Amino acid sequence: MKRYISIIALTFGLLLGGVSAHAEEGSGLLKSGSDVRDQASLQRGAKLFFNYCVGCHSLKYMRYSRMADDLGLTESEVMQNLNFTGARFDDPVISHMPATLANTWFGKAPPDLSLEVEARGTDWVYTYLNSFYLDPNSPIGWNNTTLPNAAMPFPLWELQGMQTADMTPAKAGEVPVVEKLVLSHPGKLTPAQYQQATRDLTSFLEYVSEPAALQRHYYGIWVLLFLAFFTLLASMLKKEYWKDVH
């Protein structure tokens, strides 16, 4: 009986192991709390991306049709509410910002975000979206504590509002650093609502970075349960075969 209990405990430990590992990533950053298994969150995140981000950023490895299947959306819903570039349903998500205009505005083309979460992690992306502040010394008027001197202006300022930075006292030979951010001009959303919005957007980008994760999570549970059952059956069979051997 102890052996069987150990097998069951090991199975569920493997199931929960991925969650624990994910919670530890991004030390020193805000915890995103993103969840690619929350379809409603993914749908809200997709809405935010296509309303605020796709004007500059592409998702060249994601097709509108694949996104519709994974997020439980119809072709009509996607084409009417999420497609603002005139693309076909089977096309990848490509921004229509001309490269020459991007170079003029930002110095280089905005990066494709298909693998942004894969490269930096969910906590980094979530913290970045919550770390913009007004900076009169910046050419674009904004700065970011997670990525200082970023060339990107803050696209979600209407939702969050405007944050200002409280700087550390200036000392001889030292450059003042941001001590904390203060919401000086509230936006359309409350702080809690804005945090949920950026969590949804982070979840969507996490899904985009590995769409197969939805199927992998689903099938992984059944595979581990099968292995646990097979191990239990093999153990009982071994015991039966060797019961007369001393």
List pLDDT tens digits, range 212-245.
Answer: 877 776 677 778 888 888 888 888 888 888 877 7
* CATH code: domain of residue 47: 1.10.760.10
Give the pTM.
0.77
In this structure, is residue 161 part of a structural domain? yes
Neighbours of 134 (CB within 10 A): 17
In this structure, is residue 211 part of a structural domain? yes
CA 75, 79, 81 angle in degrees (round to 5)?
Answer: 115
Which domain does 13 fall in, by range? 2-19+29-241
| Residue 49 tokens, joined | 């991306």
List pLDDT tens digits, range 130-170.
Answer: 999 999 999 899 999 999 998 889 999 999 999 999 988 87
Q: Are 163 and 172 a contacting pair, CB within 8 Å?
A: no
Tally the domains of the chain.
1
In this structure, is residue 99 part of a structural domain? yes
Determine the Cα–Cα distance for residues 36 and 51; give it in Å rounded to an integer. Answer: 20
Determine the Cα–Cα distance for residues 167 and 65; give it in Å rounded to an integer. Answer: 47
In this structure, is residue 12 part of a structural domain? yes
